[in-house]
Amino acid sequence: MTKKRFSALPGFGLTMGFTLFYLSALVLIPFVGLVIRACEISWADFWRLATSDRALASYRVTFGASLIAAVANAAFGTLLAWVLVRYDFPGRRWIDAIIDFPFALPTAVAGLTLASLFGANGWLGQFLVPLGIHGAYTPLGIVIALTFVGLPFVVRTLQPVLQSLEREVEEVAATLGAGRLRTFLTVVAPALAPSVLTGFALAFARAIGEYGSIVFISGNKPFKTEIAPYLIFMRLEEYDYAGAISLAVVLLVFSFLLLGAINLLEQWAANFEHQP
C-alpha cells in the first residue's frame, strides 16, 4: 500500500540518476582514486612513511591538542548550554545567536584574529605574555584555535536536550530530600551525559582535520607545533606523494572510526531521550 503511494510521484529516475552521477564524479571517484594510490604503496614503505619520527610527532600534536580542546569544549559547552537554557540574564539572546560564529567564520580569519589577540602586542596577549602565557606560536595556541573552532558542537547538541528535560524529575528528587548538587549529579547529569559525549566526539573529529586556523597561530615548527594536516601539505609541496598519501590514510581511518563512534553515541542519546 505505502509502496504504491510513494511511487506515484514522477522524477525518481531523473533525480536519482543525477544524484548518483554527481556523487560519483565529485566524491566517490576522488575518494577511490586516493585509495588506489594508497594501495600502490608497499606495506613497508607505508609503515616507514606513516610512522617517521616527524609524522609521529605531528600525530601527538594533532591528537593531543584536539583532545584537550574537546575536553575544554565539553566543560565550557555544557556550562554555556546550561546557562543559556536555564537562566535569564541581560545579553542572553545575543550570546545564543553568536554561539555559531565559529561555524560561520572562515578558519583562516579565525586563525589570524586569534594569533593577533594572543600575540605579545594583542589585546589579550599584552596581559598574558608577561605572565608567561604564550597563546601564539605555541602548542597552547593550537588548543586555543581548536577550542574556538569546536565551540558550537557541545552547546548545540546539548541545548535541545536540556530544553526537553522534564523539571518534574528534579522536583521529585528535591521533594525526596536530595540537595541541589545531588539532584544534579544523580538525576540531571546522567541524562545529559550521552549528548555531552556526542558533542565532545564531534568537536574532537572536527579538530583532528582542522587546518586553516592552525596554520596562522601554531608557527608550524616541526616536532613542536606541526599538526598532521600541515605535514601532509608540506609533503605535497615537496612532491612526496607517497608520504602525503600515507599520512592522509592514517587521518582518514581515524576519522571514520570516530564517525562510527559518533553514530553509536547518537543512537544511545536518542534512546536516552525516549525513555519515559
Partner 1 sequence: MAAAFSSQDSEALKKSQRGTDESPFVKWTLITVALAFSAVFLLLPLLNVFGQALARGWTFYWSSLTDPDSWAAIRLTLIVAGIAVPLNVLFGLAAAWAIAKFKFRGKSILITMIDLPFSVSPVVAGLMFVVLFGLQGFFGKWLDAHDIKIIFAVPGIVLATVFVTFPFVARELIPVMQATGTEQEQAALTLGASGWQTFWHVTLPSVKWGLLYGIILCNARAMGEFGAVSVVSGHITGQTDTMPLRVEKLYNEYNVPAAFAVASLLALLALITLAIKTFLEWKQARDFRKAQEHKPDSRASGGAMDYPLSTNS
Window 64 to 93, contacts with partner 1 (CB under 8 A) = 76, 79-80, 82-84, 87, 89, 91
233 binds partner 1 (CB under 8 A): yes
The footprint of partner 1 on residues 20-49 (CB under 8 A) is 22-23, 26-31, 33-34, 37
Task: Please report whether residue 261 would count as binding partner 1 according to CB under 8 A.
Answer: no
Applying CB under 8 A, among 123, 126, 264, 267 the residue interacting with partner 1 is 123
Is 264 a binding residue for partner 1 by CB under 8 A? The answer is no
Which residue number, 5 or 43, has a Cβ lying nearer to partner 1? 5
Which residue's CB is nearer to partner 1, number 31 or number 47? 31
| 126-145 residues near partner 1, rule: CB under 8 A | none
Residue 9 in contact with partner 1, rule: CB under 8 A:
yes
Query: What is the radius of gyration, based on Cα positions, of the chain?
Result: 23
**Contacts (CB under 8 A) with partner 1, residues 144-183:** 147-148, 151, 166-167, 170-171, 173-175, 180, 183
Using the contact rule CB under 8 A, the part of the chain among 50-58, 112-120, 192-200, 267-275 near partner 1 is: 112-120
Ranges within 203-222 binding partner 1 (CB under 8 A): 205, 208-212, 215-216
Three cell numbers at 95?
550570546
Measure Cα distances from 207 to 25, 62, 66, 196 in Å.
28, 8, 5, 16
Q: Is 100 in the site for partner 1 (CB under 8 A)?
A: yes
Query: Interface with partner 1 includes 255 (CB under 8 A)?
Result: yes
